[in-house]
């Protein structure tokens, strides 16, 4: 589960001014580019919304966001083309509205955003502008790099994932051969054109170094969770545990996207091995491409110790994350350095230990080992996962100590105030 942005009840909307800024104003302008933004709640939108509104409160520069009129789960949302929310000027450009259900339609949506976002950047940017490009849609940094060069603006890339390597690792047919080389070359052009490339982990930073990006043009700023919204709740005080019949159980949770970058065979093997322990239950909250397959396998194996629940409302996120006594996080080893599972930050904010499944040399595995906030097991080691779950279930003092360590690590490194301070340092440079 990634960081969750919640619009404050005090958030004010106002009609956009007649001009992008007061006439003669030499204040520096900051323009973020991403396909989704508030009020959308997808992962990249939540992160960007947090940062944009946080910087706007500082009042040090004009904050603009170039985004689409869509929502992640609703391409037909038709959000307002222009509005101001808490000091952030939001420019929503037109795109086609095919959505994510088919590859060709998605490609047309991407193309539309590339073109209209490029045009909007040319209108908004000047030599006092810093453009911050995220990675949705893929290669939007290339569009931003060209616009920055034309307008003599400064470019910062906020790298949430490395495309086309992620697509190739997930087996996308088009992400191989000469086309892979072309896309990678375009991406690297935009990375080398940037003054700073912000990576979200140390392994990603090394990946960028391997692509020839100078060390002085790379900064690491970890993603975060909202520590005001997500907080630890004791099991006996959690209404969701009562609603879902989990009282008296040791609950092993998985919360968030059941996507192609995650692996579930190890989890199902451990669940099968633990089916005789009536005090242990697996709770899977969320959805995604792998959900139907996982549900089918659970039914085929008769695993009655696995409970499925849909995504929960944002206002119940603290309850849903605290409903579990420990949380599962998985990542296919070939994706290490290309992405970082954002659900880790919410788990840590809820003060729960982590059971990481993946490479022992991975980003999350390194954090877990360093802070002793959980355990890591290799992909396919269902027996090892069963053993670690049993240890946590049988030794409450152990899991409580790990949960406390996770919360301490969150407060020190992965809270939004810490991330905002890092971003201010990046922008000041």
Q: Is residue 293 part of a domain?
A: yes
Q: Are residues 392 and 262 in the same domain?
A: yes
Q: Is residue 12 part of a domain?
A: no
Q: Are residues 355 and 269 in the same domain?
A: yes
- The pLDDT, as a whole number, for residue 27 is 60
- The pLDDT, as a whole number, for residue 249 is 97
How many structural domains compose the chain? 2
pLDDT profile of the chain (429 residues), mean per 10: 37 42 59 96 89 94 96 92 97 93 88 98 97 97 98 98 96 89 97 98 98 97 94 96 96 94 97 98 94 97 97 91 98 97 95 98 96 97 98 98 98 95 93
Q: Is residue 268 part of a domain?
A: yes
CATH of the domain at 337: 3.40.50.2000
Instruction: State how far the Cα of 189 lies from the Cα of 180, in Å rounded to an integer.
Output: 14
Q: Are residues 201 and 103 in the same domain?
A: yes
Q: Are residues 182 and 274 in the same domain?
A: no
Rounded to 10 degrees, the C-alpha dihedral 110/113/115/118 comes to -130
Q: Is residue 229 part of a domain?
A: no
| Tokens standing for residue 217 | 């043009």
Residue 324 vs residues 43, 69, 251, 311, 398: alpha-carbon distances, Å: 22, 36, 5, 15, 15
Q: Are residues 239 and 215 in the same domain?
A: no
Instruction: State how far the Cα of 161 lies from the Cα of 401, in Å rounded to an integer.
Output: 32
Q: Is residue 97 part of a domain?
A: yes
Q: Are residues 78 and 128 in the same domain?
A: yes
- The pLDDT, as a whole number, for residue 213 is 98
Scanning 152-238, the segments in alpha helix (DSSP H) are 165-169, 177-193, 202-210
Residue finishing a domain among 151, 185, 220? 220
> Domain range for residue 398?
235-412
Residue finishing a domain among 220, 251, 285? 220
Q: Is residue 54 part of a domain?
A: yes
């Amino acid at each position: 589960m990634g960081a969750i942005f919640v619009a404050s009840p005090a958030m004010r909307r106002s009609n956009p001014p007649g001009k992008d800024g007061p006439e003669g104003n030499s204040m520096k302008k900051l323009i973020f580019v991403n396909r989704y933004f508030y009020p959308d709640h997808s992962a990249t939108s939540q992160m960007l919304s947090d940062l944009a509104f946080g910087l706007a409160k500082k009042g040090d520069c004009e904050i603009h966001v170039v985004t689409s009129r869509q929502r992640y789960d609703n391409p037909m949302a038709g959000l307002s083309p222009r509005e101001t929310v808490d000091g952030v000027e939001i420019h929503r450009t037109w795109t086609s509205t095919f959505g994510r259900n088919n590859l060709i339609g998605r490609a047309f949506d991407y193309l539309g955003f590339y073109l209209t976002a490029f045009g909007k950047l040319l209108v908004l940017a000047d030599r006092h502008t810093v453009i911050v490009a995220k990675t949705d849609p893929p290669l939007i940094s290339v569009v931003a790099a060209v616009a920055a060069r034309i307008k003599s603006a400064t470019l910062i890339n906020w790298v949430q994932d490395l495309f086309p390597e992620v697509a190739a690792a997930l087996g996308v047919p088009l992400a191989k051969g000469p086309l892979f080389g072309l896309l990678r070359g375009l991406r690297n052009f935009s990375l080398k054109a940037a003054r700073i490339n912000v990576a979200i982990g140390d392994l990603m930073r090394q990946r960028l170094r391997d692509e020839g990006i100078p060390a002085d043009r790379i900064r690491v700023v970890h993603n975060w969770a909202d520590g005001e919204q997500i907080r630890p709740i004791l099991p006996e005080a959690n209404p969701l545990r009562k609603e879902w019949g989990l009282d008296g159980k040791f609950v092993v949770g998985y919360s968030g996207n059941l996507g192609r970058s995650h692996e579930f065979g190890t989890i199902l093997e451990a669940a099968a091995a633990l089916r005789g322990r009536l005090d242990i239950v697996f709770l899977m909250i969320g959805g995604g491409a792998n959900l139907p397959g996982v549900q089918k396998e659970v039914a085929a194996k008769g695993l009655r110790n696995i409970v499925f629940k849909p995504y929960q409302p944002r206002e119940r996120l603290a309850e849903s994350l605290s409903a579990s006594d420990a949380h599962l996080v998985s990542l296919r080893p070939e994706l290490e350095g290309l992405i970082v599972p954002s659900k880790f930050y919410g788990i840590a904010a809820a003060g729960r230990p982590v059971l990481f499944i993946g490479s022992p040399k991975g980003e999350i595995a390194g954090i877990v080992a360093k802070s002793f906030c959980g355990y890591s097991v290799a992909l396919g080691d269902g027996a090892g996962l069963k053993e670690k779950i049993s240890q946590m279930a049988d030794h409450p003092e152990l899991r409580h100590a790990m949960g406390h360590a996770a919360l301490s690590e969150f407060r020190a490194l992965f809270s939004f105030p810490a991330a905002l301070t890092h971003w201010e340092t990046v922008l000041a440079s």
